[in-house]
Amino acid sequence: MPIPANHSKPVRQSAKENAFNQLQQWIIDGTLLPGEKLNDTELADALGISRTPIRESLQLLEVRGFVKMYPGKATQVTEIEQEAIKDLLPPLAALQSLSAELAIDHVTQDELTQLENINERFAKSIYSNNGYAALKVDEEFHQVIVDITNNTYIHGMLKSLQAHVRRHFFHNSIVLTEQSIEEHKAIISSMKHGNKEKAAAIMKENWLRTLQEFQ
Please indicate, yes or no, whether residues 176 and 94 belong to a single structural domain of this protein: yes
Question: 77 vs 172, which has greater pLDDT?
Answer: 77
Please indicate, yes or no, whether residues 73 and 86 belong to a single structural domain of this protein: no
Say which CATH number the domain at 47 has.
1.10.10.10
Please indicate, yes or no, whether residues 102 and 70 belong to a single structural domain of this protein: no
Number of domains in the chain: 2
pLDDT tens readout for residues 131-144: 889 988 999 999 99
Which of 18-22, 84-88, 98-102 is predicted with the least confidence, judged by mean pLDDT? Answer: 84-88
Asked if residue 94 belongs to a domain, the reply is: yes
Q: Say what the pLDDT of residue 33 is.
A: 92
Q: How confident is the model at residue 215 (pLDDT cuts 50, 70, 90)?
A: low
* Segments forming the whole domain that contains residue 203: 82-214
Domain closes at, from 62, 77, 92:
77
Q: Say what the pLDDT of residue 2 is.
A: 59
pLDDT at 1 over 70: no
Q: Are the C-beta atoms of residues 91 and 161 closer than 8 Å to each other? A: yes
Please indicate, yes or no, whether residues 108 and 201 belong to a single structural domain of this protein: yes
Please indicate, yes or no, whether residues 62 and 87 belong to a single structural domain of this protein: no
pLDDT at 12 over 50: no
Please indicate, yes or no, whether residues 66 and 128 belong to a single structural domain of this protein: no
Domain closes at, from 55, 77, 99:
77
pLDDT tens readout for residues 19-43: 999 999 999 988 999 999 999 999 9
Question: 144 vs 1, which has greater pLDDT?
Answer: 144
